[in-house]
Structure 1
C-alpha cells in the first residue's frame, strides 16, 4: 500500500528532513520525491510505502499535518488509490 504526501509553503531549510523524519519514525518508506522551488514557494510530492506503518493512515496524516502547522506549511496525505481515482479521466 502506498500514499501520496503533498507539502506546500514558504521555502525554508529542513522541510524535507522534518517530513521524512515523521515518516521514518513511523516506519514509512519514502519511495519517490519530487520538489520544486518557485521564487520563495516550496512544493513537494512524496510517494511513500505505508504497508509497514506503525500507526493507521489517519494518525500519520494528523502527525504530518501537525508538523506542517509548526512550519507554516500545508501538508496533505492521501492513500494512493484515492489519489488515482481523483485524477483518472
Structure 2
C-alpha cells in the first residue's frame, strides 16, 4: 500500500506544550511523523511536519487539531501532500 502523506504546519505565539499536544493527537490517530522542523522566530513558534496519514481519517484529525488551535490560539493546517505540492508548484 502506498503511503498517504500530509503536511502539517503549526504557527503561533511560543508557549509550553505546543509540541506535546500536537504530537499526542497525531499519536492517538496512529500517525507517524516522517520529518519535522521547528523553530522560534522572535517569540513565534513555527513547526512543519511531513506525516504518514495512511489509515488515518483526515476529517477527524482536522477537527481535533482545530479544537487544539482554538484552545492554544494557534494556526494549525493539514494538507495532503499531493494537494500541497499542486498548490505550491511554480
TM bucket (normalised to shorter chain) is over 0.9
| TM-align CA RMSD | 0.9
Hey, what does 1:88 align to over in structure 2? 89
Q: Residues 1-40 of structure 1: matches in 2 within 5 Å? A: 1-40=4-43
Hey, what does 1:60 align to over in structure 2? 61
Segments of structure 2 that go 5 or more residues without pairing to the other structure are: none
Number of residue-to-residue matches in the alignment:
87
Q: Distance in 2 between matches of 1:22 and 1:41?
A: 21
SS in 1 for 2:89: coil
Q: Which runs of 4+ in 1 moved over 6 A?
A: none
Cα deviations across residues 35-54 of structure 1 (Å, max 9, x unaligned)? Answer: 1101111111111001032x
Taking structure 2 as the reference length, the TM-score comes to 0.92
Cα deviations across residues 39-79 of structure 1 (Å, max 9, x unaligned)? Answer: 111111111001032xx212211111111111111111111
Segments of structure 1 that go 5 or more residues without pairing to the other structure are: none
Q: Distance in 1 between matches of 2:34 and 2:8?
A: 11
